[in-house]
């Protein structure tokens, strides 16, 4: 038996993955344990979970892999500091101190941290390039014997965009773009300029885009990014501030886009809607072009994707519908957390001297992304009933149909940023009030943000123009014409947030203002328990769709333990909590008191 | 110490700024910016 531990850490979304003989047995992000969103620290608690899950001590782990090359990354930081010049000295001087002291050899820091956890003396770890880790995470768990691989993110060492060819022998780099020319950094710059947090709020910008018109596309293409027909691009980095450190944009953006950036939490205006729509359009153009180039350069008919930009479900939807490739597979932990998985798989293959394709035994190698911890249920002082699964699901279906909102906590936690049916909040998509109820009374988040549908896979095409499965909620598709409603004349001129007032389909809670939806298809293999609930709701109502959003409130990582689920349930206006076979109604619970108002302790995202 | 290092590497910045890696103007002659590896 060969056990390999993969680690990603020290930037954002630290995580760890355990691979045994080529099989991914467990993976988790540190934020779920530390309760610090996007936690960049060493993933000690995630590693402790992996070891417990596998019944191993750390010194019994055969191989350890780190997801990026800190020495090469240091050279990039040094080069960037040199290019930035004296004007950025105050920014870079303290950072360089950190880099000189430890960051340039973060692999040694990993060894030191592992030693503190009881690892053996003289541990050697394998170090892989950032994009190599992404590419491995995209290809090896995919169901394809061979495939093109496209990785796009902000930056790792130097690479920002890479095309790979995955074959029986492994993965081979075909082409790349390097820092400072980065699609991820372009998107993050607009995220910052529109008042959202970098490396966190990009998905909000994506959700904002349908409210606007892409009127800045020409300007962006003329002033900020030169895109060639093959999707490759060059950024005019002199118009951005990220070279100089601390912030993403400055005077050049203000001149281009008519004034200073929106401050966080300030009211959104037409400008932010239009900027979001415009940068989204440019992103889709680039990703689509790169996908076509990947097809041309590799000759493959299947595409795998990873990297932070692969979480842009709208761009993924464009690639999927264009049919450049016959099949598309997206790594559910496409961001840096997934780097731990890719590095572990590379190290595992090296240790076992595998030079052929080991196809996953199931539909893919991710086990439905249900790779996190599972807990036995503790009553937590709650008032509950234990029911048979049939009675349980029936009562939940009735609650949902009557407009209730359900907290759903089952089995192993998801790996990656999406709740896929084990740590979810569920609602009825047919009700027009579900979106505002869930945004404002449950999640306490911005009203403009859309909710995603989960649908029984065999019914997906009845409700969405979807051309292939989307088990990891990473593809946005248009809502099918058959369920759309005509927008009344008096509402057709609405703009901005007022667009939310329009009922656009038979499933208004999940139909975004541009008639799109971020679909999760639920098949028979990946999550049978979640599917059983959805089937019961379908039997009860004739609707095979539910609203599925992550089990957390704004600014908080997704809940991990039953207590965190109960606490979130009691802090919000959810009606029912379903933990394992424990059925909890809010109205029957004892008073839940906390010494401090939780809103003061959870920072806004 | 850090400022000394910065002082030492700043001349490198002048060179890097002129390198193709840090080019920032569109190149109308180029059909692609991709660096092919194989």
- Strand ranges, E, within A258-301: none
Does A529 lie in the same domain as A510? yes
CA distance A95 to chain B (A): 9
Give the pLDDT confidence score for residue A277 in this predicted structure: 98
Q: Are residues A122 and A200 in the same domain?
A: no
Question: Are B31 and A228 within 8 A, CB to CB?
Answer: yes
- Return left, alpha or beta for A473; rule: phi > 0 is left, psi -120 to 50 is alpha, else beta: left
> Is A322 found in the same domain as A361?
no
Asked if residue A555 belongs to a domain, the reply is: yes
Quick check: bond before A255 cis, omega within 30?
A: no
- Domain membership of residue A165 (yes or no) is no
Question: Residue A218 pLDDT more than 90?
Answer: yes
For residue B1, pLDDT over 80 is answered with: no
Q: What is the mean pLDDT of the segment spanning A153-160?
A: 96
Q: A452 with A534, same domain?
A: yes
The model's pTM is 0.96
Q: Tell me, yes or no, whether A139 lies in a domain.
A: no
Q: State the average pLDDT over residues A366-379.
A: 92
User: Both A431 and A407 in a single domain?
Assistant: yes
Per-residue pLDDT for A343 more than 90? yes
Q: What radius of gyration, in Å, describes the C-alpha atoms of chain A?
A: 23
- For residue B10, CA distances in Å to A4, A50, A141, A182, B7 come to 42, 45, 44, 24, 5
Q: Which residues of B touch A82 (CB under 8 A)?
A: 9-10, 12-13, 16
Partner B contacted by A87 (CB < 8 A)? no
- A191/A314 same-domain check: yes
Structure confidence by residue, pLDDT tens digits, A551-586 = 999 889 999 999 999 999 999 999 999 999 999 999
What per-residue confidence (pLDDT) applies to A38? 96
**Residue A150 falls inside a structural domain:** no
* Higher-scoring residue by pLDDT: A12, A94: A12
Residues from chain B contacting residue A180 (CB–CB below 8 Å) = 22, 24
Task: Please classify residue A348 by burial: count the beta carbons closer than 10 Å to its beta carbon, then call 0-12 exposed, 13-18 middle and 19+ buried.
Answer: buried
- Report the residue of A90, A226, A292 to disrupt the B interface, i.e. the one with the largest count of B CBs within 10 Å: A226
Q: Does A175 touch chain B (CB under 8 A)?
A: yes
A496 lies in a domain? Answer: yes
**pLDDT recorded at residue A214:** 98
Q: pLDDT over 90 for what percent of chain A?
A: 86
Measuring CA to CA, which residue among A476, A478, A499 is closest to residue A487? Answer: A499
Model confidence at A187: pLDDT above 70 = yes
pLDDT-above-70 percentage for chain A: 100
Summarize pLDDT for A271-298 with one digit per residue, the tens: 999 999 999 999 999 999 999 999 999 9
Q: Out of A256-260, A356-360, A486-490, which region has the weakest mean confidence (pLDDT)?
A: A486-490
Residue A544 confidence class, pLDDT cut points 50, 70, 90 = very high
Reply yes or no on whether the pLDDT at B24 is more than 80: yes
Q: How many CB pairs under 8 A join A and B?
A: 87
Q: What's the count of helices (H) and strands (E) in chain B, helices before strands?
A: 1, 1
More confident residue, A229 or A90: A229
Tally of domains within chain A:
3
- For A261, A330, B25, B38, the CA distances from B33, given in Å and listed in that order, are 30, 25, 12, 15
Average pLDDT over residues A257-265: 95
Residue A212 confidence (pLDDT) above 70 = yes
CB contacts of A83 in chain B (<8 Å) are 13, 16-17, 22
Q: Are residues A400 and A544 in the same domain?
A: yes
pLDDT at A217 > cutoff 80 = yes
Which residues of chain B approach chain A closer than 8 Å at the C-beta? Answer: 1-3, 5-6, 9-10, 12-13, 16-17, 21-27, 30-38
Rounded average pLDDT over B5-32 = 89
The yes-or-no verdict on residue A379 having pLDDT over 80 is: no
- CATH number of residue A554's parent domain: 3.90.870.20
Q: Are residues A318 and A419 in the same domain?
A: no
Residue A8 in contact with residue A73, Cβ under 8 Å? no
Taking residues A129-151, report their average pLDDT. 98
- Average pLDDT on A201-207 reads 96
pLDDT, one tens digit per residue, over A401-455 is 999 999 999 999 999 999 999 999 999 999 988 988 898 888 888 888 889 999 9
Residue A220, pLDDT score: 98
Whether the pLDDT of residue A108 is over 80: the answer is: yes
Claim to verify: residue A86 and residue A218 sit in the same structural domain? no
Pairing status of strand A423-427 against strand A3-8: unpaired
Residues A466 and A580 in one domain: yes
The residues, any chain, with a CB within 8 Å of residue A597's CB and separated by 6 or more, are none
d(CA A589, CA A591): 7
- Shared-domain flag, residues A283 and A346: no
Cβ-defined contact of A79 to B16 (cutoff 8 Å): yes
Least confidently predicted of A69-73, A339-343, B11-15, B26-30: B11-15
User: Does a structural domain hold residue A232?
Assistant: yes
CA distance linking residue A509 with residue A504, whole number of Å? 9
**For the residues of A544-562, what is the DSSP string, one character each?**
-EEEEEESS-TTSPPP-SH
Q: How confident is the model at residue B12 (pLDDT cuts 50, 70, 90)?
A: confident
Q: A97 to chain B: nearest residue by CA?
A: B2
Q: Is-contact A143 A113, C-beta < 8 A?
A: no
Give the CATH number for residue A215.
Answer: 3.30.420.40
Nearest CA in chain B to A83: B13
Distance from CA of B27 to the nearest CA of A (A): 8
pLDDT in tens, A88-100: 888 888 888 888 8
Q: Tokens 């029912």: give the residue.
A: A576
The answer to whether residue A113 scores a pLDDT higher than 90 is yes
Burial of A345 (0-12, 13-18, 19+ CB in 10 A): buried
Asked if residue A585 is part of any domain, the answer here is: yes
Domain that holds residue A76: 3-67+69-127+337-365
First CA to last CA distance, chain A: 42
B-chain residues near A181 (CB < 8 A) = 33
Is residue A454 located within the same domain as residue A515? yes
Q: How confident is the model at residue B7 (pLDDT cuts 50, 70, 90)?
A: confident
**In angstroms, what CA-CA distances link A131 with A1, A29, A190, A256, A600?**
28, 19, 23, 32, 38
Is A488 within the bounds of a domain? yes
Return the closest-CA partner of residue A225 out of A272, A160, A270, A174: A160
Q: How confident is the model over A152-164, as a mean pLDDT?
A: 97
**What pLDDT score was predicted for residue B38?**
66
Record the tokens describing residue A436, joined without a space. Answer: 């505002």
B-interface mutation test, from A131, A155, A185, A228, most B Cβ less than 10 A away: A228
């Amino acid at each position: 038996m060969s056990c390999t531990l993969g680690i990603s850490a020290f930037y954002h979304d630290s995580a760890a993955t355990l691979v045994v003989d080529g099989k991914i047995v467990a993976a988790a992000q540190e934020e779920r344990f530390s309760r610090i969103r996007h936690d960049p620290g060493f993933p000690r608690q995630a590693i402790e979970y992996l070891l417990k899950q596998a019944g191993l001590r750390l010194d019994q782990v055969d191989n350890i892999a780190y997801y990026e090359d800190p020495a090469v990354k240091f050279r990039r930081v040094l080069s960037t500091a040199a290019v930035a010049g004296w004007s950025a000295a105050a920014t870079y001087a303290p950072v360089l101190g950190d880099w000189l002291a430890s960051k340039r050899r973060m692999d040694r820091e990993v060894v030191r941290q592992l030693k503190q956890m009881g690892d053996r003396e003289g541990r050697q770890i394998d170090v892989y390039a950032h994009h190599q880790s992404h590419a491995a995470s995209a290809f090896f768990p995919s169901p394809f014997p061979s495939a093109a691989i496209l990785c796009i993110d902000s930056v790792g060492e130097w690479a920002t965009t890479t095309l790979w060819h995955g074959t029986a022998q492994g993965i081979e780099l075909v082409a790349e773009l390097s820092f400072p020319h980065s699609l991820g950094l372009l998107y993050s710059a607009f995220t910052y300029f529109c008042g959202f947090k970098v490396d966190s709020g990009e998905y909000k910008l994506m959700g904002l885009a349908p409210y606007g018109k892409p009127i800045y596309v020409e300007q962006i293409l003329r002033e900020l990014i030169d895109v060639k027909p093959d999707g490759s691009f060059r950024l005019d980095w002199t118009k951005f501030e990220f070279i100089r450190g601390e912030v993403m944009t400055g005077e050049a953006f203000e001149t281009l886009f008519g004034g200073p950036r929106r401050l966080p939490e300030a009211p959104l205006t037409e400008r932010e809607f239009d900027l979001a729509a415009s940068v989204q359009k440019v992103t889709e153009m680039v990703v689509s072009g790169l996908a076509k180039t990947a097809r041309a350069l590799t000759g493959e008919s299947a595409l795998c994707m990873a990297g932070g930009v692969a979480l842009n479900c709208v761009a993924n939807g464009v690639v999927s519908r264009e049919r450049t490739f016959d099949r598309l597979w997206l790594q559910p932990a496409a961001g840096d957390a997934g780097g731990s998985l890719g590095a572990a798989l590379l190290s595992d293959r090296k240790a076992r001297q595998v030079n052929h394709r080991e196809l996953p035994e199931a539909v893919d190698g991710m086990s439905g992304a249900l790779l996190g911890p599972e807990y036995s249920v503790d009553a937590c002082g709650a008032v509950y009933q234990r029911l048979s699964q049939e009675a349980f699901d029936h009562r939940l279906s009735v609650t949902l149909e009557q407009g209730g909102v359900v907290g759903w906590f089952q089995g192993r936690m998801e790996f990656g940023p999406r709740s896929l049916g084990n740590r979810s909040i569920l609602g009825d998509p047919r009700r027009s009030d579900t979106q505002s109820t869930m945004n404002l009374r449950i999640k306490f988040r911005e009203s403009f943000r859309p909710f995603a549908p989960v649908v029984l896979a065999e019914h997906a095409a009845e409700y969405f123009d979807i051309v292939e499965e989307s088990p990891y909620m990473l593809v946005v598709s248009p809502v099918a014409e058959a369920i759309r409603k005509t927008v009344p004349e008096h509402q057709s001129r609405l703009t901005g947030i007022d667009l939310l007032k329009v009922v656009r389909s038979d499933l208004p809670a999940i139909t975004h203002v541009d008639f799109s939806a971020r679909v999760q298809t639920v098949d028979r293999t990946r999550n049978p328990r979640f599917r059983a609930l959805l089937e019961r709701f379908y039997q009860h109502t004739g609707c095979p769709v539910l609203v599925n959003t992550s089990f957390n409130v704004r600014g908080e990582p997704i809940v991990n333990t039953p207590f965190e689920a109960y606490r979130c349930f009691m802090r919000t206006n959810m009606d029912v909590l379903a933990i394992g076979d424990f059925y909890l109604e809010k109205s029957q619970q004892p008073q839940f008191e906390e010494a401090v108002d939780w809103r003061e302790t959870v920072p806004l995202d | 110490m850090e400022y000394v290092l910065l002082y030492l590497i700043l001349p490198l910045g002048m060179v890097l700024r002129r390198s193709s890696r840090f080019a920032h103007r569109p190149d109308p002659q180029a059909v692609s910016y991709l660096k092919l590896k194989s």
